[in-house]
Chains A and B, each alone.
Chain A
Amino acid sequence: MSILPVLFACLPAILLLGATFLLPIVSTLRLSFSEWPGVGPVEWVGLEKYSELVVNPDFHSSIKVTIVFSILSTIGVMGTALLMGLAASRKRRSDEPLRAIWFLPAIAPATAMAVFWTISVQPEIGIVTQLMGKIGLGRDSAWLSEPSTALYVVIAVSIWAGASFPFLLIVGAIDRIDPEILESAKIDGAGEWQQNRFFVLPLIQPVLVMVTVLQFIWSFNGFSLIWAMTRGGPVDSTSVLSIFQYKQAFMFGDFGSASAVGVLGTIFLLTLGMLGLRFTKSRSAIQ
């Protein structure tokens, strides 16, 4: 098959991908070396925006918040998703409807769920707060308006909303395991726990590593859920990089440093993604 007719057929896709992804990347790079308040001419300022960011304490705090959020959210999501995967892949008849229901949080719009959870943890009237009050925990606590606790509420909701997608990928990996392997392990006297520990987990390990890397990237990029719950507050305690960027551009009119945030974040994530892919490949090569 010669390449020309294929290229011709792919032309619309190439143009659309170029306009949606390539063009904006080049623009962001250019903007990150510029002073631009959102209107008027774009003025070249070299590395000034980057050197401003390096000394900006809000940027530092936002990196810290992003790292804490991404790490805790990824650990919570992957732990939950793995347990859910093991619990829904035992070939019971109820597995199929269960999988459908357990995927619902991935279907529902993130902002809708965020608004629900935000109202639910309000002191006194929130239903979560009231349930907490019933089991003896303070129902007048305003966890989401306390700078010391808001981030953890957001992380908990991100685990609720985020576990379903990796769950489905993990279940898919478990389904692909040759049933004979588990059958012969069973005949050799391995209980369910031993089957999981010595056969299922090692066999799905490449998928687990890959999904963990991806989940970290998704958490790192998270915006909608946090924005809908706190707008980055109280006192920037939940202001992750994407919220810091939004505020720099659309509240302070500094598109230059907002773009520099985008460039730095992307370099970090792509490096991490490449390392993760390489790690997955070498691991599966060993097996």
Chain B
Amino acid sequence: MRSKNILGRGSWGLYRIFVTVIILFPFFFIILLSFKSMLDIYINPLSLNPDWAPENFKEAWGGPPGGTGFSVYSKNSAIVVLVALPISGAVGAIAAYFTTLLSPSLRRKFMAVPLLATMLPSIVLLLPFFQIFNALGVLSNPAALGLLYAGLCLPVTILVLHAFFLEFPRELLEAAALDGLGIYRTFTKIVIRLSFAPLLAITLLNIIWVWGETQIGLVLLQGSASQTIPVGILTFSNALKANPGPIFAGLTLATIPLAVIYLLFHRVINRGITMGGVIR
């Protein structure tokens, strides 16, 4: 029995190492190759000793001659995030809280709406987005895309925050009512101030989604000066096909900051995911 247990442990142990290596493989090589010159990448890409070519990062940041680089893409991604997150956070938190005050059957009917919305594929939404953005003259406008992302983040924001607000201690709400606070002021004065962790979780989840969204951004941001990081990567890597060094530097800029943020906050983020159940 005992030896069987050790064997079981041993094979899980090997499997855990194997999976970890496969998962870290791209991250490791993206960073390593971003420091190699073109010659080094072509001749011995697998060598663990780069010949240090920091100009890769300079070119990734500034862009190829006459093109756009990650300084512009990062700025656009920042605009999109800064527009999308406060709007979806505020609108979502309000809806998520006040629906908890309804009777259970009515509450479930309300919550069916965001649940259904998370299931809708983008192929049924994408073309009208283009049509509307075109009609309003806001194609290639990152701020307008940010507003659209706010709407797209809303269903998941509502579902995750709703699950949290359901567990908000009733005694606090009753005490507030006894003190004469109305439902709106109870929300702004008490509920919001005690909900830092879930608000942080949903903010981070939305950053991750917005930071990687490509399908809609590709259609709505056509000028390269308006593109966000995931869309810009495609333009950039097409323009630089023969010189992979700056491409890897760009990939480093696109993935590593986000990965660091995640590793710092992974407890909060993972709890948000398991709480909301399902996120695309």
Contact = CB atoms under 8 A, between A and B. Distances in A.
B170 interface: no
A263 interface: yes
B259 interface: yes
A287 to B, nearest CB: 19
Contact of A117 (B26, B101, B110, B132): B26
A245 interface: yes
B82 interface: no
B163 interface: no
A5 interface: yes
Given A9-B95, A24-B129, A130-B46, A242 B123 contact: yes
B22 interface: yes
Contacts of B194: none
Contacts of A221: 121-123
A19 interface: yes
Interface string B101-118: 111001000100110010
Nearest to A94: B16
Contacts, number: 257
A112 B128 contact: no
A109 B253 CA distance: 11
A52 B30 CA distance: 45
A160 interface: yes
Contact of B230 (A39, A109, A119, A255): A109
**Most chain-A CB neighbours within 10 Å: which of B33, B129, B134, B251?**
B251
Interface string A47-62: 0000000000000000
Contacts of A191: 1, 4-5, 8
B92 to A, nearest CB: 7
A224 B215 contact: yes
Nearest to B273: A168
Contact of B124 (A172, A193, A223, A262): A262
A112 B251 contact: yes
A87 B257 CA distance: 28
Given A113-B26, A130-B46, A191-B1, A261 B123 contact: yes
B255 A109 contact: yes
Contacts of B122: 221, 223, 242
Contacts of B190: none
Interface in A100-131: 100-105, 107-113, 115-117, 119-120, 125-127, 130-131
A84 B18 CA distance: 11
A94 B181 CA distance: 47
A173 B29 CA distance: 33
A23 B124 CA distance: 11
A250 interface: yes
A65 interface: no
A90 interface: yes
Interface string B50-89: 0000000000000000000000000000000000000100
B117 A17 contact: yes
B17 to A, nearest CB: 10
Contacts of A88: 16
A83 B14 CA distance: 13
Given A6-B98, A111-B233, A218-B280, A100 B127 contact: no
Interface stretch (A143-151, A266-274, A278-286): A266-274
Contacts of A218: 280
Contact of A270 (B119, B244, B274): B119
Contacts of B184: 5, 9
A41 interface: no
A269 to B, nearest CB: 6
A247 to B, nearest CB: 12
A17 B1 contact: no
Contacts of A117: 26
B94 A25 contact: no
B23 A227 contact: no
B49 interface: no
B239 interface: no
Interface in A123-173: 125-127, 130-131, 160, 164-165, 168-169, 172
A83 B262 CA distance: 23
A5 B183 contact: yes
Given A109-B254, A116-B26, A266-B124, A131 B16 contact: no
Interface of A: 1, 3, 5-6, 9-10, 12-14, 16-17, 19-21, 23-25, 27-28, 31, 38-39, 83-84, 86-88, 90, 94, 98-105, 107-113, 115-117, 119-120, 125-127, 130-131, 160, 164-165, 168-169, 172, 189, 191-193, 214, 217-218, 220-221, 223-224, 227-228, 241-242, 245-246, 249-250, 255, 258-259, 261-263, 265-266, 269-270, 273
Given A12-B94, A101-B20, A258-B127, 16 more contacts: A3-B102, A9-B97, A12-B95, A20-B117, A24-B132, A27-B132, A28-B128, A99-B266, A103-B266, A104-B27, A107-B208, A108-B212, A116-B248, A168-B270, A169-B273, A228-B214
